[in-house]
A and B are shown apart, each in its own frame.
Chain A
Amino acid sequence: MTTDVANVSSIKLAWALCWAAFWTGFPLKLMVAVLLLAMQVPPWEGAGMTALLIVSIPVDLWALGLTARTYFLERHGLELEGGIGLTLWWQGALIGIAFLAAAYFAGSTAVSIGKQIAASIIGGIKKIFPGFSIAEQITLELLLWSIPVAVVLGVLALVALKIYGWRIKATVKSAGHPTAAPLAERVRRWDYARVPRDPGLLLASFAGVIVLLTIVFWLFLPVTTPHPSEDYKVQVKKPVKPLKPEDMLKQTEMSLAKADAVLHSLEQEKGKEKKKATKPEQKGK
Chain B
Amino acid sequence: MNALAQKVYDFVDERIGLKTLEAKMMNEPIKGGSRWAYVFGSVLLFIFIMQAVTGVLLMFYYIPSADHAYASTQYILNEVDYGWFILSYHFWGSSAMVVVVFAHMSQVFLWGAYKKPREMVWLVGLALFGLVMAFGFTGYLLPWDQRAYWATTVGVEIMDKTPIVGDFLARFLKGGPTPGQMTLSRFFVIHVMVLPAALMGLAGLHLFFFRSAGPAGPFRGTTEELKAKTDFFFPRQVWKDIIAMATVFLAISALALVEPVELLQEATPDPGDYHPEPEWYFLFLFQLLRWRIFSGEFGQSLAAIVLPALFMLLLAALPFIDRNPERNIFKRPIALVSWAVVMIGIVVLTISAILNREYLD
Contacts and interface: CB of A to CB of B under 8 A. Distances in A.
The answer to whether A binds B is yes
Contacts of B247: 26-27, 30
Contacts of B36: 23
A229 B254 contact: no
A217 B246 CA distance: 14
Contact of B352 (A27, A38, A139, A199): A139
A4 interface: no
Contact of A134 (B81, B265, B356): B356
B323 interface: no
B229 A187 contact: yes
A195 B236 CA distance: 6
Main secondary structure, interface of A, reads helix
Contact of A196 (B78, B231, B239): B239
B235 interface: yes
Interface string A210-228: 1000000100010111111
A259 interface: no
Contacts of A196: 235, 239
A73 to B, nearest CB: 13
Contacts of A195: 235-236, 239-240
B79 A234 contact: yes
B209 interface: no
Nearest to B257: A37
Contacts of B234: 199
A277 interface: no
A34 B257 contact: yes
Contacts of B236: 191, 195
Interface in B54-113: 74, 77-79, 81-85
A183 B235 contact: no
A31 B263 CA distance: 28
Contact of B254 (A30, A134, A187, A234): A30
A133 B243 CA distance: 47
Contacts of A138: 352, 355-356, 359
Contacts of A227: 84, 260, 262
User: Max chain A CB contacts within 10 Å: which of B33, B34, B74?
Assistant: B74
User: Max chain A CB contacts within 10 Å: which of B228, B265, B293?
Assistant: B228
A133 B293 CA distance: 9
B311 interface: no
A202 interface: yes
Main secondary structure, interface of B, reads helix
A34 B243 CA distance: 16
A132 interface: yes
A271 B126 CA distance: 92
Nearest to B80: A224
Contact of B242 (A1, A132, A206, A221): A206
B261 to A, nearest CB: 9
A282 interface: no
Contact of A232 (B78, B239, B292, B352): B78
Contacts of B293: 136
Interface in A34-83: 34, 37-38
A183 B225 contact: yes
A33 B82 contact: no
A135 interface: yes
Nearest to A131: B292
Nearest to A26: B247
Contact of A223 (B81, B224, B240, B254): B81
A113 interface: no
B260 A225 contact: yes
B84 A225 contact: yes
A262 interface: no
B78 A228 contact: yes
B7 interface: no
Contacts of A31: 250
Interface in A109-155: 131-136, 138-139, 142-143, 146
A191 B229 CA distance: 10
B258 interface: yes
A226 B236 CA distance: 40
B263 A229 contact: yes
B239 A225 contact: no
Given A37-B258, A142-B348, A27 B78 contact: no
A142 B250 contact: no
A234 B78 contact: yes
B78 A142 contact: no
A139 B348 contact: yes
B355 A142 contact: yes
Contact of B235 (A199, A224, A234): A199
A48 to B, nearest CB: 12
A225 B77 contact: yes
A231 interface: yes
A184 interface: yes
B317 interface: no
Contacts of B231: 191
Contact of A30 (B81, B250, B258, B352): B250
A278 interface: no
B250 A202 contact: no
Given A142-B348, A183-B228, 17 more contacts: A27-B246, A30-B251, A132-B292, A135-B292, A139-B291, A139-B349, A142-B355, A187-B228, A191-B34, A196-B239, A202-B235, A202-B239, A225-B77, A225-B83, A225-B84, A229-B74, A232-B77
User: Lowest 7 A-B CB distances belong to which pairs?
Assistant: A135-B290, A225-B84, A37-B257, A199-B235, A133-B292, A139-B352, A30-B250
